[in-house]
Structure 1
Amino acid sequence: MTNYAVDEDTGTVLRIWPTGRGQRAAVVGALPATAVAEDRLRLAAALTSLSEALWRCYTHPGLATDDRDGNGEGWRREQSREVFSQLVSLIKEPNLPSEGGAIIESYDPVEEWAHRVGRALRALDDAKLLEAVSADVAAEIEAVESAERGDLSGRAQQAVVLSRTDVNPVQVAAADGLLARDPLNGEQLFADVDPTAASVAAAHWLKAAADVVAEVSGMPADEVVQAADDIEALPAETPSEVLRLFNFSDTAYGVVVEMVRGAIQVGEGAVADLGALLAEYDTGDDNDDPDAEPTPVRLTLLNPQRPALDLLRDLLTGIHGCRLVYEEYAHAGNTVATDTQFCEAVREQARKHYIRLM
């Protein structure tokens, strides 16, 4: 999302947004010289919260839920998305307090934050700033809509640091193309592709790499990354779990989206299936020492603050791990030959099972 800040030295409002390679910044508009600090900061804070609400519509689309009717979560998300076209007019004509001080507040966070931006601008009372902020909010909305279409150019590039609960097939295809070019180098994914979509492609290529190693080594595919961890220290747990889940899912999409959604829920204070979690950690021993030091329980393998990025990095590391194990059995003669032989075999395996992506 875009963060907004006040530059006290120049008396301007700045916007700052991530790109996957670093932060960009630009001036939104000049603040009135007579404006008090509290009013300036209130505008920046409201704009930041509006951007957060807008990008949540991208990361949490209504289509990613099963309850889109009535007052379900999916229905509420779609209501937030539908208000996009009204936001600039709400900023210019926000709800204002009545003579008695009462004010109408919207239950919808996107709509309410637009009203709050409008009220912050009313307090500053500057026509040029109103037009500059309105134009900037319109550009932010267009960035979200562009990301939804699968186009991450311009300001929409900030989507590369967000974890989405669904994927755009355009982004999956883009990630798949980058990994087909070089299965051992996925760094460009972090700058150009939505990380959940990139993780879908990376899971597909990890499975292809593990299957190649399984064929030459005779070990089960879901044990390959663990074997690599004996050669070089790797974060083996997550990629090994992904490979294991392929035994129960027909698609990389199913494996990845379920993992990312679960981690996002943990980050929001919820657990998708408490019964399954309790069963997993139940020792079955009724004689456990009640005075023993409690053991922390890990609710998700991924970092709940950035699950898709965390998963993507681990999956790419898992592909590298497959390459390490492959070298033990390939006898290609040198590193360059091993890399070439490995990548060719993985490309062939990935092409053969392309339908596994989605």
Structure 2
Amino acid sequence: MTRYAIDLVQGTLVAHWSTGLGDIAVTVARLPSSAREHDSLRLAARMTRLSRDCWRCYTHPASAALNRGSGIAGTRRLRERDSFGAVLSRIDGHGTCVDAAPRTRIEGSARQVGQSLRTLGTGPFADLVISDVLCELDAVEQAERGDFTGRARQAVTLSCEDVSPPQIASADALLREDPFGPVGLFTRVGCTAAAVAAAHWLYAATAVTSERTGLHPTQLVMDGADPARPAAADGALQVVAALHLGARTREFVMILIRNALQVADGNLFGAPFLLQRIPASEEAGDGTRAESEPAEGYRDQPQDVPLTLLDPARPASDLLESLVHGIQGCWEAYERHGGEREAGLGARFVDEVREKAAARQALLQ
């Protein structure tokens, strides 16, 4: 989403958003000379909230809820998406329904933006703010069409409850060109689609490396895990273990991402998954006890049970980074095996990984 801030030195309202590589910032408008700091900050906060609510229609589409059989959630999301058309009237304070209670979060956020604008004063400043809001709505609609250029580039960093086959195919093509994770994987396609494709290619890399080293694919993931991000490594490990048993890539990866998104909303989507992890967590807790008598009250201490293996704030990006790291780890294990470096070893690794990925292509989508 776009975040808005006040540049107190320049006296301007600024908008900035991520591109997958870094943030872009633009000046929306110069603040009125009479604007008080707290009123300006309130406007920036309300515009950020409106952006968040609008982009949620992209990350949590109605189709994803309806596909899960949740008719109530699907209807509510459809209503939110339909309220894009009411944003301008809610901000302007004109129209037949502006005095009625907002029917959606988007309408409520838009009305609050309008209230802030009327506090700061109408005129050219308000016109520029409204123009920027309309640009934000256009960016969401552009991302829904799969066009991640311009302001819609921020969509590549957003985790989604669903992902289209064309986006996965685009990410798969980038990895086929460079299985080690090219920059375009993070900047040209949505991170959810990129995570699905990267899972497919990580499994191919583990299969190739397993044949060369004799190590199990899951062992390769554990050996090459980033020690600074153990939870993310667990996510990659679960992916490889599931694909090794024949799971379809998109289906399993989306379970992990949807679960994390539900946790971020304060819900629990993967109850069966959590129930499986409780015994493992208890065993891990038992393993940390000393051989001697445990400390007083230790047995009464509850063990931590993670509700999700991914960062709830950015699950798809978190998983993608771990999967790409895993591919690099496979290459390092492949290279180490056999002692002296062989000529053309890197090219051979890439060719073998491409061959494995192609052989399992039917299970990608």
Q: Please indicate the TM-score interval, normalised by the length of the shorter structure.
A: 0.7 to 0.9
What pairs up with 1:18-29 in 2 under 5 angstroms?
18-29=18-29
Counterpart contact for 2:29–2:125, Cα < 8 Å: yes
User: How many pairs were matched up?
Assistant: 350
**Partner in structure 1 of residue 325 of structure 2:** 317
**Partner in structure 2 of residue 305 of structure 1:** 313
Structure 1 counterpart SS, 2:308: coil
- CA distance in 2 between counterparts of 1:152 and 1:229 reads 31
**Partner in structure 1 of residue 290 of structure 2:** none
**Partner in structure 1 of residue 162 of structure 2:** 166
Q: CA deviation at 1:140?
A: 0.5
- CA distance in 1 between counterparts of 2:105 and 2:228 reads 45
Deviations 1:103-149 (A, max 9, x none): 64324111111111112212223221222112111110111111111
For structure 2, the 5+ residue unaligned runs are: 287-293
**Partner in structure 2 of residue 224 of structure 1:** 220
What pairs up with 1:67-86 in 2 under 5 angstroms?
72-86=72-86
1:190 lines up with 2:197 in the alignment: no
1:152 lines up with 2:148 in the alignment: yes
- C-alpha distance 47-138 of structure 1, shift in aligned 2 (>3 A): same
The amino acid that maps onto 1:269 is G
Identity of matched residues, %: 40
What pairs up with 1:246-257 in 2 under 5 angstroms?
246-247=243-244, 250-257=247-254
Which of 349, 359, 365 is the aligned partner of 1:342? 349
Counterpart contact for 2:83–2:104, Cα < 8 Å: no
- C-alpha distance 136-349 of structure 1, shift in aligned 2 (>3 A): same
Which of 130, 136, 141 is the aligned partner of 1:140? 136
Q: CA deviation at 1:243?
A: 1.0
Structure 1 counterpart SS, 2:4: strand
Counterpart contact for 1:6–1:44, Cα < 8 Å: yes
**Partner in structure 1 of residue 304 of structure 2:** 296
- CA distance in 1 between counterparts of 2:273 and 2:22 reads 39
- CA distance in 1 between counterparts of 2:68 and 2:298 reads 47
- CA distance in 2 between counterparts of 1:28 and 1:210 reads 48
- CA distance in 2 between counterparts of 1:137 and 1:87 reads 9
TM-score (norm: length of structure 1): 0.87
Structure 2 counterpart SS, 1:295: coil
RMSD: 3.0
Which of 167, 175, 181 is the aligned partner of 1:179? 175
**Partner in structure 2 of residue 91 of structure 1:** 91
- C-alpha distance 272-45 of structure 1, shift in aligned 2 (>3 A): same
- CA distance in 2 between counterparts of 1:180 and 1:108 reads 43
Moved more, 246-255 or 23-32: 246-255
- CA distance in 2 between counterparts of 1:233 and 1:119 reads 45
Which of 252, 258, 262 is the aligned partner of 1:261? 258
Deviations 1:8-31 (A, max 9, x none): 333321111112222211111222
Counterpart contact for 1:62–1:68, Cα < 8 Å: no
The amino acid that maps onto 2:341 is N
- CA distance in 2 between counterparts of 1:163 and 1:350 reads 24
**Partner in structure 2 of residue 62 of structure 1:** 62
Counterpart contact for 1:95–1:119, Cα < 8 Å: no
- C-alpha distance 291-10 of structure 1, shift in aligned 2 (>3 A): closer
- CA distance in 2 between counterparts of 1:166 and 1:246 reads 19
**Partner in structure 2 of residue 42 of structure 1:** 42
- CA distance in 2 between counterparts of 1:111 and 1:72 reads 19
- C-alpha distance 248-110 of structure 1, shift in aligned 2 (>3 A): farther
Moved more, 340-349 or 248-257: 248-257
- C-alpha distance 188-104 of structure 1, shift in aligned 2 (>3 A): same
